[in-house]
Amino acid sequence: MLLTGAEILIKSLIDEGVETIFGYPGGAVLNIYDELYKYKDKINHILTCHEQAAAHAADGYSRATGKVGVCIATSGPGATNLVTGIATAYMDSIPIVAITGNVPKSLLGKDSFQEVDISGITMPITKHNYIVKNVEDLQRIIKDAFYIAQEGRPGPVLIDIPKDITANKGVYKSLITRERCKDKNILNEEAIAEVIQYINDSKRPFIYAGGGIVSSEATDELITFAEKINAPVSTSLMCTSAFPFDHSLYTGMIGMHGTKASNVAATKCDLLITLGARFSDRVISNQNHIKNAKIIHIDIDPAEINKNVKVDSYIVGDLKDVLNRLIPVIDEKKNKEWLDFIDSIKEKKTFKEDDCNELTPELLFNKLNNLNDGNFIITTEVGQHQMWAAQYFNCRNRRSFLSSGGLGTMGYGLGAAIGAQIGSPNKRVFNIAGDGSFGMNCNELATVVKNKLPIVTIILNNNSLGMVRQWQMLFYDGRYSETTLNRETDYVKLAEAFGARGFRVIEKSELDYVLNQAISSKEPVLIDYVINCDKKVFPMVAPGAPINQIISEEDINNN
């Protein structure tokens, strides 16, 4: 069948099961958008206000559903506006396919209008990228792109298509979908035997679980594995929601803003079992901090082994496969003394509303926890509010906490919320924002309203760039350089201007009513939740310090 490149593209996307695309049209992709118009009964296109939000929406869609997210932009600035979203997906190993238009082949390399070498620009932040030079290659490239985005360690793939390729005609035919082999894990038997021996010999095992657990859909296996060896479990930010928050073995988040139990356990264990995590500098990056433990690292990406921390034993492979291989053959353990010690340092969550005289993050998330019936998805921007959400919100279902971990992208949350809500229409999506981050993407409220998405955005409004201000207080003697915003923005009026409902909460007595109104509403809602600018995120570990050297709020109050 002879079709234009644009037709081949759209049909190929349908073949890959794509139902939604997030994007923004322009001259170089007009042929593609003309075909999208013809196929609008099969592919839902969400027009964002800015291409960066299209990339974040594709990312959020993928994180919430486990599918590949797809975004599209025109050449030049349209393509470069995708870059931050692509980098965000790359750092967090999220499978998206980004499609960009470009000038016709004859104009490439001539500084033509709206021409940019997007393939060169994105080479360091994609698993792979393509410039389509022949329409006959387009169908194969699309199929390969979806395969590469998902196989092994997931990540973004970019396809750059010159405009004449979308107009030229080529043969469209049935192609066999390549099965994801996960490298068919020719698992190293010696490595497996060695890991088993380390686990069986350990008296104080401790699990540090990362985003690989989510990517490999290995939550059930992680629970079974942890219960069999009775090992406490900590999670990275990327693994939040992948282990039950109320499980007796769960110690909470690990790292700079991790719990005391997680951070101390990492330094007291005799075996650190790292699953699908990369030893980020915000978690554990100094070998000396965990020098008393043997370290096992299981990851699908061989490049991560011994990159940041030298390990004693490792297995390269898909976590679901590896854990299913280990569970039947490892010894069952009790570890009573070790678990008793962990329980003794766990900080019990005991929040009493009557003890709270002002609006605080704890109060907000306690209310949300009480209202959550297991149907909530949380997206976050980046900053103090992000850490408070990770610390205080009790995720009751998998893939329910979406946050920019590796890149720390302010402006991520609202775009991601759009993607999550489109991908999970029966869930209630909350975007947790700070007033600083919200200013970077508030225009996407127009997208939310236009598409009648019942997203609730909650701005923890402290009139400052809170996380940077916190560092300035702790490490720069309180020199608050450009972190006090002093903006006169009325977020309630702003929400109403976009067509959303707006509420402001400045008193405790208002909160229940506002949250109930927001949750019962079928339309977009924004809540301006006003908090003190001096509220800090604790516990905290100073950059470069051992993770068990924990700064608490009491430490600050006592200098």
Indicate which residues carry an active-site annotation.
Answer: 51, 113-114, 163, 467
Asked, as a colleague might, if the bond just before 539 is cis with ω within 30 of 0, I would say yes
Query: Side chain identity at 216, as an amino acid letter?
Result: S
In angstroms, rounded to a whole number, what is the distance separating the alpha carbons of residues 222 and 242? 9
In angstroms, rounded to a whole number, what is the distance separating the alpha carbons of residues 189 and 211? 25
Distance of CA 14 to the CA centre of its chain: 26
What number of other Cβ atoms are within 10 A of residue 405's Cβ? 23
Instruction: Give the residue carrying structure tokens 């958008």.
Output: 33
Show Cβ contacts of residue 77 under 8 Å, excluding neighbours closer than 6 positions: 114, 116
In angstroms, rounded to a whole number, what is the distance separating the alpha carbons of residues 460 and 438? 10
The H or E element spanning position 171 is: strand 169-171
104 neighbors 163 (Cβ within 8 angstroms): yes
Edge-to-edge strand ranges of the sheet holding 44-47:
44-47, 20-23, 69-73, 96-102, 157-162, 128-131
Residue 169's DSSP bridge partners are 4
* Three-state secondary structure call for residue 345: helix
Looking only at the bridges linking them, the beta strands covering 271-275 and 294-299 are: parallel
Phi, psi of 516 (to 5 degrees): -65, -40
In angstroms, rounded to a whole number, what is the distance separating the alpha carbons of residues 202 and 525? 51
What number of other Cβ atoms are within 10 A of residue 545's Cβ? 14
Residue 131, token pair as written in the block: 């410039």
